[in-house]
Structure formats: structure tokens, C-alpha cells
Amino acid sequence: MSAAVARPDLGAYRRFVVAFSGGKDSLAALLHLLNLGVPAHAIELHHHDVDGGGPSLMDWPCTLGYVRAIAAHFGTALYVSWREGGFARELARTAEPTAPVMFETPTGIGTAGGNGPLGTRGLFPQTSPDLRVRWCSPALKIDVLAAAIRNQPRFLEGRSLVVTGERAEESSTRARYAPFERHRTSTLTRSVDHWRPVHDWSEQEVWAAVERSGVRPHPAYVLGWGRLSCRTCIFGSPDQWATVRLLFPVAFQRVQAREALSGKTIHRAFDVAALADRGRPFAAALDHPDALAQAEDEIWRLPIVMAPWRLPAGAFGDTAGPP
């Protein structure tokens, strides 16, 4: 690793809450914890289902299955959480409160919220680093994890360390994140810290760690994406939209239909068709039928360990995604 990131005293924590998207950076963060000797039984992966368990509008259908396979491989717990109805319900919200958060717990499914002020969305989140207008990240991920922590009494017992995989190299916004700080859910009675263990890692270091683990990269990388965001992320580049239109025409049309319904485009200046017209599908998109079939399949079917391991086509490529 390059310059040392302040490492918290890992022995001080009872549990390690890894916000786990299934992307290479959260995977590298998990691998780093394991390499530092954190026992798998103390680690819990938390995955946020952006589509809220409903039909896929935004996310890759295979991502939840992929994340489950990784948790099973390493022997960690996995807790899935979501906002009821996901992205689609929040987008369609009309004079209603934001939907409640649902979260898996060791003993069942908890719920929180759903009784906030009435409000109306109707518009896609704006492609901005400002989370007040880019509503998908807080509503469907950040606030969901916070609700899961705040509403489980077990987090009052012993200290918790939230671990996330943001890297400074990804954007100027992420470069300003602190490698270590108190987590937003921490209070006088609930001790929660937040560590970004790969904050100063290069992409090269991340892929090297994934290669050492042998874990198969998410199909998105194999098909040419450089980052794992939602499949139809609002920050999609022209090449990403061209690839979605080529490989996943139904998913592409679903977003087009939402644009038509709202009368507003996903991007400030262009609709998704215009974006796709400006791009070219990734060169690798049609070369990997196994990854393509898996990408559309909610059931994870490929071996989670890849032998021999191969660097995916998307590595060091298109880096469009949330800043």
C-alpha cells in the first residue's frame, strides 16, 4: 500500500460493518480486513438493494446473488437492507412520505421510518456531488445503512467499525473524505467509527488484492465497465449507455419510459437515447456470453473463485459513476 492510512485499533471493535456493493473497492476493503486478521465471524457485510426487492429498474440483477456468494465464500454474515419499493417508488413519490427502510437482522427483518413529511419527487436525481439533489445515494444507500444501525439495539453493545471502500483517486469529492472519523450514527450510548481502509489505494493495488484472493470480479467489469455502480446509473457515460442499449435493451427501455413519464431526462442536457448515440459499446461487451448471461440472472451460477484469475476488460477503463 502507498502512504499509510491511519489504522484504528481493530482489537477495540466488536463488529465490523462493511458497506458492500460487490464492487472492487468494497471487496478490497473486505480483503484487507481479513488480511489484518479480523475474524470472519466479526465481519458483517451490509448490502443495499437499490431496487428495493422489486423488479430491476436501476441495478444489475445479479449483484445481490454475487454478494451472497462472496459472503458464503468468506464465511461472513450478510444483511441486506432496502427502502421499500426502491428507486422506482421514490421516483414516483407524489405527496407522500419517503417509504420505510427494511433491514435484515440476526433475528428477522426490521423496519424504520416511513412517517416523514409529505413530498413529491417525479424527477431523476441530479447528476451532482451534492447529496441534497442527488437523492438516490442518501435515500437508497447512506440513510438505509444508518437506519439499520440506529434501529438495532445490538449496536448499543460494544463498539462497531463501519468500513467503506471509497478511494481518493476516484474523484475530488472522495479525496476530501477522511480515512477515519466518527460515524454519523455514533452517539453517547452507541459507539460507531468509520474507516476507509483503501482510501489511498491506487486502482492497481485494488485489482492486485482481488487477484490474490482469486475472487471472480462482478460481470459488469468483465463486460467493460470500470466501476460497479447501478447498471443504469444516472452518471452513466455515453459508452455505458450505448452498451446498456446493446446488451440490455429492456432495461434501457425501462429508463426511457421513466424519462417520458416525467417529461425530464436522466441527464441535464440529454436523454438516454442521445447519450447512447454519442457513445460506443465497450469492445468486450459481446465477448463474454457467460458473464452476460450471469449479469441478467438473479441467481448466481458462476464459481465465485476464478481459476485462472483474469483481469477484467473494464479494469483501468471507463470510470463514470457517482463522484
Chain positions contacting ligand SF4, by CB under 6 A: 50, 58, 125, 136-137, 140-141, 229-230, 233-235, 322
Smallest separation (angstroms) from ligand SF4 to the CB of 83:
11
Residue closer to ligand SF4 by CB (options 15, 65) is 65
CB of 191 to ligand SF4, least distance (A): 28
Least Å from the CB of residue 228 to ligand SF4: 9
Which residue, 136 or 313, is less far from ligand SF4 as judged by CB? 136
CB of 232 to ligand SF4, least distance (A): 7
Output the smallest distance, CB 91 to ligand SF4, in A: 11
Half-sphere exposure at residue 147, Cβ-oriented, CA atoms within 13 angstroms: 25
Q: Which of 124, 102, 76 is nearest to 232 (CA)?
A: 124
Whether 243 and 287 have beta carbons less than 8 Å apart is answered as no
Do residues 238 and 278 touch, judged by C-beta distance below 8 A? yes
Angle between helical axes of 24-35 and 63-74 (0-180°, round to 10): 10
| Closest distance to ligand SF4 from the beta carbon of 47 (Å) | 13
- Considering beta carbons, is residue 83 or 183 the nearer one to ligand SF4? 83
* Rounded distance between C-alpha atoms, residue 172 and residue 323, angstroms: 8
H or E element: which one contains 15? strand 15-19
Residues 6+ apart with CB under 8 A from 8: 161, 180, 193, 195
Among candidate residues 53, 50, 18, 54, the one with its CA nearest the CA of residue 34: 18
Could you tell me the smallest distance in angstroms from the CB atom of residue 136 to ligand SF4? Answer: 3
Provide the residue count of the chain.
Answer: 323
Of residues 229 and 237, the one with the C-beta less far from ligand SF4: 229
- Selection from 151, 87, 312, 132 nearest residue 219 by Cα: 312
Nearer to ligand SF4 by Cβ, of 141 and 196: the residue is 141
Asked whether the bond before 97 is cis by omega within 30 degrees of 0, the reply is: no
In 3D space, the residue among 30, 53, 58 whose CA is nearest the CA of residue 43 turns out to be 30
Query: What is the DSSP code (8-state) at residue 117?
Result: -
Query: Which amino acid, one-letter code, is at 155?
Result: F
CB of 154 to ligand SF4, least distance (A): 27
33 or 140, CB closer to ligand SF4? 140
AA letter at 24: K
- By C-beta, is 266 or 302 nearer to ligand SF4? 266
Contacts with 267 (C-beta within 8 Å, 6 or more apart), sequence order: 127, 234, 275
Taking the least distance from each CB to ligand SF4, the nearer of 43 and 58 is 58
